[in-house]
Amino acid sequence: MKISIKYPSEALDKPIFSTAILKTNTKVNVLRATIDGVSTEMLLDVEDSKVKKFTEFLQGYDIKVSEIRQGIYIDTELCIDCGACCSLCPTKALYMEANSLKLDESKCILCKNCIQGCWVGALEMQD
């Protein structure tokens, strides 16, 4: 499951993220991170069975946790399967198969590169 977490500035000097992984024995994949010295925001892929425990641990340190329900939607009426968006996708979540555009949602990091790159407007972010 994908979740986003946001640290307040007061928590930046503590190893809360790594402690959460160790204490809850959770496998976490960091899909995206923004660290600017003021706050930290991360998009994470957390194993489904551990999400609740992992989330509760972080919330105990006042870290904001949100479940991500958004995803890329392909309007197949508009898409002409040109493949242009595939080269803009950093994780290869978008790919061509048998001359048809496909999406592997598990690989999508919600960067929106593809939306900006589709010249016919066939892609959008949906809840």
Cα separations (Å) of 115 from 8, 43, 102, 112? 30, 19, 14, 5
User: Is residue 120 a contact residue for ligand SF4 (CB under 6 A)?
Assistant: yes
Least CB distance from residue 86 to ligand SF4, whole Å?
Answer: 7
Question: What is the β-pairing status of strands 2-7 and 40-46?
Answer: antiparallel
Enumerate residues 83-112 that contact ligand SF4 by CB under 6 A.
Answer: 83-85, 88-91, 93-94, 101, 108-112
Residue 118 touches ligand SF4, criterion: CB under 6 A: yes
Q: Residue 66 is inside which H or E element, if any?
A: strand 64-67
Find out whether 17 and 11 touch, Cβ atoms under 8 Å.
Answer: no
Cα distance between residue 44 and residue 31, in whole Å: 5
**Least distance CB 22 / ligand SF4 (angstroms):** 28
Angle at 48 between CA 8 and CA 66, to 5 degrees: 30
> Considering beta carbons, is residue 65 or 117 the nearer one to ligand SF4?
117
Closest to ligand SF4 by CB, 8 vs 83, is 83
Which part of the chain contacts ligand SF4 (CB under 6 A), choosing from 1-9, 13-21, 53-61, 113-121?
A: 113-121
Total residues binding ligand SF4 (CB under 6 A)? 27
